[in-house]
């Protein structure tokens, strides 16, 4: 499933749409960036409330395709800029990490 397909099917707000539309095969839910760094799988979508620039750096290094910011956390402009230059999508929703994880899981399962 591509980033665009996933984004469209979830219907969350897209905060950054200059991304490489690669394949998303799984998700990873964590607010602990060291944990994301160590354990997030390649080609994943990162589900988190950590809405700042460093999240983009970690997502990039971990090979994540997109970041979903939960609980309507404000997304700072420098985070959007960083994501743009790394080609990583940012989505945002008012739902929490648990709900988003189940929704992402369902969409990925449906498409496989």
Partner 1 sequence: MHQSFPINADESPPIILDLIYKLKVKDVMTTELLTVGPESSLRDVQHLMRAEQITGVPVVEGERLLGIVSVDDIIRSLDEGYIGETVTAHMSRNLIVLEDDMPLSFAISYIDKYQFGRFPVLNREKKLVGIVTSRDIIVALLVELDHEVVKLEEQVPHEAGHPTAEESTRDFNISSYDFENAGKASTELRKLLIEQGLDRKLIRRAAVAAYELEMNIVVHSHGGRLAFSLSDDTVEITATDRGPGIEDVEQALTEGYSTATEWVRSLGFGAGMGLPNARRVCDTFNIESSKRGTSVRAVIHLPKGDTET
Which residues of this protein are in contact with partner 1, per CB under 8 A?
A: 31-38, 42, 48, 50, 52-55, 57-58, 60-63, 78, 86
Give the 3-state secondary structure of the chain: CEHHHHHHHHCCEEEECCCCCCECCEEEECCCHHHHHHHCCCCEEEEECCCCHHHHHHHHHHCCCEEEECCCCCCCHHHHHHHHHHCCEEEECCCCHHHHHHHHHHHHHHHC
Residue with Cβ nearer partner 1 (32 or 105): 32
Residue with Cβ nearer partner 1 (7 or 88): 88
Residue with Cβ nearer partner 1 (19 or 107): 19
Distance of closest approach, residue 41 Cβ to partner 1, in angstroms: 10
Distance of closest approach, residue 46 Cβ to partner 1, in angstroms: 11
Residue with Cβ nearer partner 1 (10 or 58): 58
Distance of closest approach, residue 109 Cβ to partner 1, in angstroms: 24
53-62 helix and 77-86 helix, angle to the nearest 10 degrees: 20
Distance of closest approach, residue 51 Cβ to partner 1, in angstroms: 10
Structure tokens at 89: 């999508």
């Amino acid at each position: 499933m591509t980033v665009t397909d996933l984004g469209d099917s979830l219907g969350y707000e897209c905060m950054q749409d200059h991304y490489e539309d690669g394949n998303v095969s799984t998700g990873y839910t964590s607010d602990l960036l060291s944990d994301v760094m160590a354990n997030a799988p390649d080609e994943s979508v990162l589900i988190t409330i950590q809405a700042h620039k460093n999240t983009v750096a970690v997502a990039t290094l971990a090979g994540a395709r997109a970041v979903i910011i939960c609980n309507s956390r404000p997304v700072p402009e420098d985070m959007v800029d960083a994501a743009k230059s790394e080609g990583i999508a940012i989505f945002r929703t008012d739902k929490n990490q648990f709900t988003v994880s189940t929704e992402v899981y369902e969409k990925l399962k449906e498409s496989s």
